[in-house]
Structure 1
């Protein structure tokens, strides 16, 4: 089974502080080739979701049909979207 390609994009920031890793809204990353550029705290949260999507599973989607997760830094709270790309 071929693993799905995953795109991770910063779509919002809910906290009052800028990201300590420098991520900004609009930054986008290919999981296969750029995962080392993503904040380790965010990747810790993202990995279970990514693993489910890569191996054919599905996640409960938001009202708009997309999948989101937040980083765990309470001062920043970056919101990321996960999308399967072709």
Structure 2
């Protein structure tokens, strides 16, 4: 059984300042091939969600195969969506 692909997308920004890593709403990343381009602070938060979704789990209150989370930078607060990509 192969692992499903995971996509991360910046869907909103709630903080008053731009991202120090340069992420903007609409940026999309393939977890397997582009995760090094994602801010390390955001990846630290994203990984548990990715792990849960990739191995068949579900996040309470979220549509199946998705999770929404915020980066921990209080000045930026980028909102990311993680989703399983069906091939």
TM-score in terms of structure 2 length: 0.91
Which residue of the partner structure matches residue 7 of structure 1? 7
Structure 2: tracts of 5 or more residues without a match? none
Which residue of the partner structure matches residue 37 of structure 1? 37
CA distance in 2, matches of 1:36, 1:52: 20
Structure 1: tracts of 5 or more residues without a match? none
* SS of aligned partner of 2:29: strand
Residues 18-77 of structure 1 show CA distances to partners (whole Å, capped at 9, x for unaligned) of 000000000000000000000000000000000111111111244xx3520000000000
Which structure 2 residues correspond to residues 17-56 of structure 1 after superposition, within 5 A?
A: 17-56=17-56
Which residue of the partner structure matches residue 72 of structure 1? 72
Q: How many residue pairs get matched?
A: 84
RMSD over aligned Cα atoms: 1.1
CA distance in 2, matches of 1:4, 1:72: 26
